[in-house]
């Protein structure tokens, strides 16, 4: 398949690759097509698994703080500072 881009599109893609946003122009176009077509590929999230496992273990040990408590502490902190 051959796809023709405008010079501006090609320039923007090449700049994005040069900035390190994408490994290649091809990768950028594949991601753009997936987004446009509603691709459900969220990428490789395996890096997050250890963090989720750690959080689940902390919750199981009772080392969590209820969200309501966090909100109350944040509100008190902001009031103290006049915000």
Joined tokens for residue 59: 């919750």
The model's pLDDT over 47-59, given as tens digits with 9 standing for 90+, comes to: 899 999 999 999 9
**Tokens 């689940």 appear where?**
56
Q: What is the mean pLDDT of residues 72-78?
A: 95
First to last CA, the chain: 58
Q: What is the pTM of this model?
A: 0.44
Q: pLDDT digit string (tens) for 15-60?
A: 999 999 999 999 999 888 888 887 565 677 888 999 999 999 999 9
- For residues 16 and 28, the answer to whether their CB atoms sit within 8 Å is yes
Q: How confident is the model at residue 4 (pLDDT cuts 50, 70, 90)?
A: very high
Q: Which parts of 19-66 fold into alpha helices (H)?
A: 25-36, 49-60
Instruction: Report which of residues 47 and 12 the model is more confident about.
Output: 12
Close Cβ partners of 23 (under 8 Å, ≥ 6 residues apart)? 17
pLDDT value at residue 23: 93
> How far lies 22's CA from each of 32, 34, 38, 67, in Å?
11, 15, 20, 37
Higher pLDDT, 1 or 29: 29
């Amino acid at each position: 398949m051959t796809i023709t881009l405008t010079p501006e599109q090609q320039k923007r893609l090449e700049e994005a690759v040069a900035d390190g946003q994408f490994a290649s122009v091809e990768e950028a176009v594949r991601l753009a097509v997936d987004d446009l077509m509603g691709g459900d590929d969220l990428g490789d999230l395996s890096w997050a698994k250890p963090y989720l496992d750690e959080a689940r273990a902390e919750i199981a040990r009772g080392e969590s703080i209820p969200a309501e408590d966090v909100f109350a502490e944040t509100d008190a902190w902001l009031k103290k500072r006049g915000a």
